Structure 1
């Protein structure tokens, strides 16, 4: 159900996405024109169908490689100059001008125009990903040698007394508190501090009822 419109409805309003409203329960259309039956999507191939497969293959456009200018290999130039005994900048410049033909080879991994490099040169002594572990001996697996070895180890461990001792019924196991109470000695009570200079001085007042209470 479309909402009511005001004014004259023109055909151009069916192509403007800002004016087109979505019908109830449907998505909004974009109003784009569909090309005719003669329209070809993608790049056209200029070849005659009567030529067959040979004509189709020969009409393919081959991507040509772009020629990159050769770059100077300064590493080899500097190495050869140092070996010749040239260390100053002036001597190095003269040596480079004299040996200007030393160029660096183009790496294979450099991509061409819009394409990717084929057969990239991998770095030596590098393993990509996780290395495979050593293969397990198939004869030992089929003969259950590892299982027999584990079983013998368990038997020897039980015979050597490494297994846990069985608790007798009615026996209370020792706890940390009981062990500390039985092994630790109680500290001696501290003696009251008495200064020697006042130990023999008699009391000024005698307020105790009997001599026993004095103690």
Structure 2
């Protein structure tokens, strides 16, 4: 009995350890179809009252996203026989078809072009018939419509454009690199010669240029530059304050006054600035 129980437990363990095979529907689930009235259950986000139609669940502005599910886009999918991608209609008959048939493009039928009218023959026939006016000529051309055939030499033919005798078709090859000129510094010598010729031409131009003599000052030129002095008027003072002297004099003598003014001018640089701490960058 215990042996039978142990064998049964081993079978159960093996069954439990076997991996679950995933089907195609698990790996690649089928595409979601648009919602319909039959898919709506009580308590869902898209549950509605009143008259409900399938077209109401195909409007992306009305459909709400269900809890835990992506939002429906309400786009109907094609049938089961629809193939996604480019469908190539080819014949796959194997070796006999590959040997016996060739996939060659059939030549398109050319459009029949209209032949050119033979006005010389029509005008000659109209004159022989005694028709002179424009209306008579028009009626004659409608009745006798003469055309120039393709094989007629009178038909205007486009001549090929004239080509030079030594013309070569294709891309023209670039000229070979002049290695000998590069090794001999030929381009440097040409540049030096051009510079010498330019300097020589500049010297000749300066030599032929007329040098003017010294310009002398005349009375008219001096009067042109003369600026008359502007006389500034003195400031206006009230008359009854002109003869009044100062009421307070803090200096005993005039020499002390001048000495104090001189010291003030010397300390002017130290007493400037925002905080009167000195502004040594001031002129």
Question: What TM-score does the superposition give when structure 2 sets the normalisation length?
Answer: 0.30
Higher relative contact order, structure no. (Cα contacts within 8 Å, ≥ 6 residues apart):
1
User: Would you tell me which structure has more helix in proportion to its own residues?
Assistant: 2
- Report the structure number with the largest CA radius of gyration: 2
